[in-house]
Structures are given as structure tokens and as C-alpha cells.
């Protein structure tokens, strides 16, 4: 009888504990339901999914959206199909809402823990989410086609020349030399580098090829390049500081030129070393060789050709940009190397 009594006591205790747990859970649920937190969590999930759907719907161009709702009470997890809001450690608190992606735009999956700020952005074909999105609104959307790598091609580097001035500016020559240096570092054979200007004697010991910036007369050596990159400074009597890439309209290599121009511009815009300088815009401009008054190197009609117009010699920010010689050379070279990857 004693043992039986003990068993009943134990069962009663279990019964009381089980009832207490269930009551506690029900009470907990009821309390949370009666508070405004859960509906707010559901609202945030709906709202964020709607913002992402809107970004997918935007017709090209770059957008940054400052999200103004306070989501700091939750962890916000976004993957390619849904947004999930939850509180750390409590699994049953999750609320998720789905959104509908596209085959062309990629979403950057992200987990933001108790975010005080959220920014959404659509840059090109990428949707970015972060506390503070680090992206340049001027970034261009490059064509998707993958051309052949250019690092094995013959490359003509033209430091350019301003109109009515036969010689290029010193700063452009320095940028062109920086580009040549970076290209050879990236594996381009110096035998494949040509210039519209005279080159210094190749230094066997140091392995350096460079344009002679002290004697900027035209090169008398013939060149037969596959790719031509021309550089020149912008000159406008305003405060603009744009980057323009001129390509030849109707050229057999227009598509390839556009892609190269796009990659080089994006590489400049994405260079953090140019941080403090405000670049006001970027564009690719197709030009008709016969109609334009611009001076282009000879024989570029059906080559991959990009003329980069950088900065503005008349504006403060433009001048600052033109002083960033190694940074510009590095960016242009990275854009060049990116082609074909």
C-alpha cells in the first residue's frame, strides 16, 4: 500500500507540473497576442516584403530606400524568397512573409540583428540590404555577355590630347602610366602594350614600360592594337565631376566597347580609395566618328575602344579626382582585367 501511495503522489505531481506548463504557455501566448508587439512584427514582415517586391518592380536605374519603420526589436533575416522576423532565442516567435524574385535580379541575403536603421537598394541587377548600404547610385548596369579575356590582346594606351592642343596634359600621362604599370602587374605582356605617344626605353632590370611624359610627342612607331583605351580630363565650366566613356557608335565592336567602358566606370565608382571625392554622374556615350569634333586615335573604328573622360579641370572635386593618379590607374586596370571573367 505504501508503494502504491507513492506512485499516486508522483503521478499527481506530474499532472500538476504538466498543467502548470500548459497554463504558462497558454498564458504567455495570450499575453503576447494581447500586446501590440506581434501584430507590429507581422506588419513589419509584410511591409519589408512589399518594399522588396517594389524594388524588383523598379524599371532600371539605381535606387536606395531608407526604411523608416523601427525594426530594432527584432532580428531581420532576408533570403531569396522571404523575410523572417524573430526575437533571438525564442523559435516560436518567428513571422515570415514571402516575396517574389526575378530570374535576372539577385538579392543579397542578409541577417540584421536588432537593426536601428535599414536601407534597401537596387544597384544594377542586385538588391542590397544593410544598415547602411555602401553603393554608388551612379553605378552602371553592364551587359551580361562574357567576352574573351583582354589581357592577352594588344593594347593601345592613349593619354589623349585636348582639342587645339597637340600634347596631352601631364596628369593624363601620369594616369596612363599608372594604368600601364598596373596592367603589366596584372599579367599583360609589355610587348603587347603600345601608345600613341613615345614610350621610354624598356628597363630590363626593373621590367617597367612607361610613356615618356617629358616628351609627349606622337609616337612614330606603327601600332596594330586590338583594344584602345584613351584618356582625357573633363573640362566644363560648372561644378560637375562626371565620368564619361565615349565609344564608337556603329562599330563592329560596339557591344564589347560598351561592356569594357561599363566595367571601367564601375571600377572607378567602386574604388573606396577615392572616398571623399564626389563623383556627380557616370555615363557611356556612343559617338559617331564622322560627326564628332572630338579627336580620337587613328584606326579605332572597329576595335574595342573606350575614351574615358575623367573629372573636370574647372571644378574643385574634378581637380581632386584628377590628382588621384595611382587610384585611377588601378581602377581602370581592374575594370580592364574584369572583362571576360
Partner 1 sequence: MGNKKMFFSKKASGYILGKKPIYFIITLICLTISFILFSYAISREVSSTTVIPDNLEMTILTNRFLNSPDCLAYQDKETGRAYPGIIDLEKFNDEALEKCYSTEDSTLKAFKLSLESPNLNIPPEENSDNKANKYFILTPNWAARRYTQTSQYVIIYHKENFYRGRLLIAVQK
- Hey, which bits of 87-236 come out as E strands? 95-98, 106-107, 110-113, 118-123, 126-130, 155-158, 193-195, 227-233
CB-wise, 75 or 141, nearer to partner 1? Answer: 141
Binding site for partner 1 (CB under 8 A): 3-4, 7-8, 11, 14-15, 18-19, 22, 25-26, 29-30, 33, 38-39, 42-43, 46, 50, 53-54, 56-60, 81, 92, 95, 98, 100-105, 141, 286
Pairing of strands 304-310, 242-248: antiparallel
Nearest to 109 by CA among 132, 124, 127, 131: 127
CB-wise, 48 or 172, nearer to partner 1? Answer: 48
- Going across the sheet that includes 75-78, the strands are 95-98, 82-86, 75-78, 110-113
Q: Which helix (H) or strand (E) holds 75?
A: strand 75-78
CB of 54 to partner 1, least distance (A): 5
CB of 18 to partner 1, least distance (A): 7
DSSP 295: -
CB-wise, 161 or 305, nearer to partner 1? Answer: 305
CB of 25 to partner 1, least distance (A): 7
CB-wise, 58 or 72, nearer to partner 1? Answer: 58
CB of 218 to partner 1, least distance (A): 34
CB-wise, 42 or 320, nearer to partner 1? Answer: 42
CB of 339 to partner 1, least distance (A): 18
Q: At a CB cut-off of 8 Å and minimum separation 6, what does 140 contact?
A: 124, 262, 265, 266, 282, 283, 284
Amino acid at each position: 500500500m505504501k508503494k502504491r501511495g507513492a506512485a499516486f503522489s508522483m503521478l499527481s505531481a506530474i499532472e500538476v507540473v504538466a498543467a502548470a506548463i500548459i497554463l504558462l504557455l497558454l498564458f504567455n501566448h495570450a499575453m503576447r497576442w494581447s500586446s501590440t508587439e506581434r501584430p507590429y512584427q507581422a506588419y513589419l514582415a509584410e511591409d519589408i516584403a512589399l518594399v522588396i517586391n517594389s524594388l524588383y518592380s523598379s524599371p532600371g536605374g539605381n535606387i536606395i530606400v531608407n526604411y523608416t519603420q523601427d525594426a530594432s526589436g527584432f532580428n531581420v533575416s532576408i533570403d531569396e524568397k522571404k523575410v523572417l522576423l524573430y526575437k533571438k532565442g525564442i523559435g516560436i516567435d518567428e513571422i515570415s512573409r514571402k516575396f517574389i524574385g526575378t530570374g535576372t535580379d539577385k538579392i543579397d541575403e542578409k541577417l540584421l540583428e536588432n537593426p536601428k536603421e535599414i536601407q534597401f537598394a537596387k544597384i544594377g541587377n542586385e538588391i542590397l540590404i544593410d544598415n547602411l548600404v555602401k553603393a554608388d547610385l551612379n553605378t552602371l548596369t553592364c551587359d551580361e555577355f562574357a567576352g574573351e579575356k583582354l589581357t592577352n590582346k594588344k593594347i593601345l594606351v592613349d593619354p589623349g590630347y585636348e582639342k587645339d592642343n597637340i600634347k596631352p596634359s601631364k596628369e593624363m600621362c601620369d594616369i596612363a602610366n599608372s594604368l600601364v604599370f598596373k596592367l603589366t602587374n596584372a599579367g599583360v605582356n609589355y610587348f603587347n602594350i603600345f601608345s600613341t605617344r613615345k614610350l621610354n626605353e624598356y628597363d630590363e632590370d626593373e621590367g617597367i614600360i612607361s610613356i615618356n611624359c617629358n616628351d609627349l610627342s606622337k609616337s612614330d612607331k606603327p601600332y596594330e592594337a586590338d583594344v584602345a583605351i584613351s584618356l582625357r580630363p573633363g573640362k566644363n565650366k560648372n561644378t560637375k565631376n562626371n565620368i564619361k566613356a565615349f565609344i564608337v557608335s556603329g562599330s563592329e565592336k560596339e557591344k564589347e566597347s560598351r561592356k569594357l567602358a561599363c566595367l571601367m566606370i564601375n571600377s572607378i565608382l567602386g574604388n573606396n580609395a577615392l572616398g571623399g571625392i564626389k563623383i556627380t554622374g557616370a555615363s557611356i556615350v556612343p559617338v559617331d566618328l564622322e560627326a564628332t569634333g572630338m579627336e580620337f586615335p587613328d584606326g579605332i573604328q572597329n576595335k574595342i575602344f573606350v575614351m574615358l573622360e575623367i573629372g573636370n579641370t574647372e571644378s574643385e572635386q574634378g581637380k581632386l579626382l584628377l590628382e588621384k593618379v595611382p587610384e585611377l590607374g588601378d581602377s581602370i586596370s581592374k575594370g580592364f582585367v574584369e572583362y571576360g571573367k
